[in-house]
Amino acid sequence: MSTNNRKIYIFDTTLRDGEQCPGASLTPDEKVEVAKQLERLNVDIIEAGFPAASPGEIEAIQKVSKVVRTPIICGLARMVEKDIDAVRQALRFAKRKRLHVFLATSKIHRDFKLHKDTSEILKLAVRNIRYGKKFFDDIEFSPEDASRTERDFLVEVVGAAVEAGATTVNIPDTVGYALPTEFGQLIAYLVEQIPALGKTVNLSVHCHNDLGLAVANSLSAIQNGANQVECTVNGIGERAGNAAMEEIVMTLNTRKDNFSDNCYTDVKTKEITKASRLVSRLTGMVVQPNKAIVGRNAFSHESGIHQDGILKLRQTYEIIDPKDVGLSGSQLILGKHSGRHAFRERLEKLNFHLSVKQIDVAFKRFKDLADQKKYVFDQDIEALVEEQISKIPETWQLVYLNTSSGTKAKPKAEIHLKRQKKVYKASSSGDGQVDACYKAIEKILKMKLKLVDYSIQSVTSGKDAVGEVNVKLLHQNREVSGRGTSTDVIEASVKAYLFAVNKICSQQIRTKLAPV
């Protein structure tokens, strides 16, 4: 890169802010899987969690720190010494580490949440940054709700933080209130008032999507001097989510002409689709079909006019090459006559690296699926393999399922589940076949569970398409997600329910607080 180019650092907070979505809790092993993919993406910083939330959170961050070595690993803390000490403990194995401290600065937060005046806020910020500096060379400071903070006070508190030792200053649009023009002007104003920002001190932004403007605000900030953006895979996060990492990265790649100083990132874009699907699967947060970059329809063309244009020149209707974000650009059609060799080669092309034993299991499941439908597409293979390699132990396994229903008959279900070597049986009726199945399962489990969300979508097209069911169960005031796939939507529904139940049984879901 020439000296005229400006690197934009990607600070990924999928494992912290993204995981704060209701029902999106990840086990320590799942956090590690996401972190490893983020490392393959080559993001610069991974915010691995909020250590003060629970001992389980500390354990998860330590696991991430032991495995992921290239990116900086970051932990979030409030402006209190015990939170900072928790980050120290969580990051003790990290090769490269960062402390991220935050403190609300807007008048509404000062008056109604903290009950502190500006002088108290300044003292808290300076004291705790200096305390953190005893243990961390790399400290990031976030004035929470910065976009609604009085400009003069924002300059004062940011300046004090820099003087106290902050090496990165992050400007959050915490409630997604700002418009792109005014947010860009705010960043330009801070750069003008504190010249070190964006130079000797990194200038970051953290934008929420309450008005659908998180990516636009982040890009406006970059145009006005920010050199770090905080974002998440698929844009997941609190409320309406965060700025979507894939949209920011691909906008910078695609529209270099609109950034005068040739902004770039070091993200390996061909890993984007893999990251998106992994995060969606593990969190249960389904990606909307028309989502930019990673949605199912992002590179699909049905219109005859569009198809004609694409065949003549791809760029007529595609401004991004699907291969640049990790898509093959074509569908491989497999069927029941396909052999193990072809199946194994397709797995490798889809970037699945399985053991011999895993391939044997996947091939059997593929053959079973091929007997049920005429063609097996790439998405079918991805769905069955991703479900197979989940790290959640199968405490309860489905052995037998039978349902009946009719226009004048009450739906009934009989379920047989196996735990260890013992088979448990139960029957029940319900408002529908799925409801009957879930009630039968509850009889076996004898657990208090509440179904709070149920969604079903087709993984592929056609009357024999694989159905994907996502559920969220409420257990002891905590939402837990589950996912199941099958050509039979009733079976997929039962699999999804049992997936969530097995998550609960693993006893690895951790309690979290919900800061910034």
Binding residues for Mn(2+): 17, 206, 208, 242
What 3-state class would DSSP assign to 478?
Answer: strand
Q: How far apart are CA 79 and CA 120, in angstroms?
A: 12
Question: Which amino acid, one-letter code, is at 180?
Answer: P
Q: Which residues are annotated as a binding site?
A: 17, 206, 208, 242
Sign for the pseudo-dihedral over CA of 19, 21, 27, 29: negative
Q: Count how many Cα atoms sit within 13 Å of the Cα of residue 16 in the half-sphere of its side chain.
A: 26
Partners of 418 in the β-ladder = 397, 423
Supply the Cα-derived Rg of the chain in whole angstroms: 25
Q: How far apart are CA 499 and CA 389, in angstroms?
A: 12
The burial of 211, by beta-carbon neighbours within 10 Å (0-12 exposed, 13-18 middle, 19 or more buried), is given as middle
Q: Count how many Cα atoms sit within 13 Å of the Cα of residue 129 in the half-sphere of its side chain.
A: 27
Structure tokens at 390: 């989940």
Q: What angle do CA 3, 96, 24 make, to 5 degrees?
A: 105
Hey, how many other C-beta atoms are within 10 angstroms of the C-beta on 511?
Answer: 12
Q: What angle do CA 472, 476, 482 make, to 5 degrees?
A: 20
CB 516 within 8 A of CB 17: yes
**Tokens 């349902």 correspond to what residue?**
403
Hey, how many other C-beta atoms are within 10 angstroms of the C-beta on 1?
Answer: 9
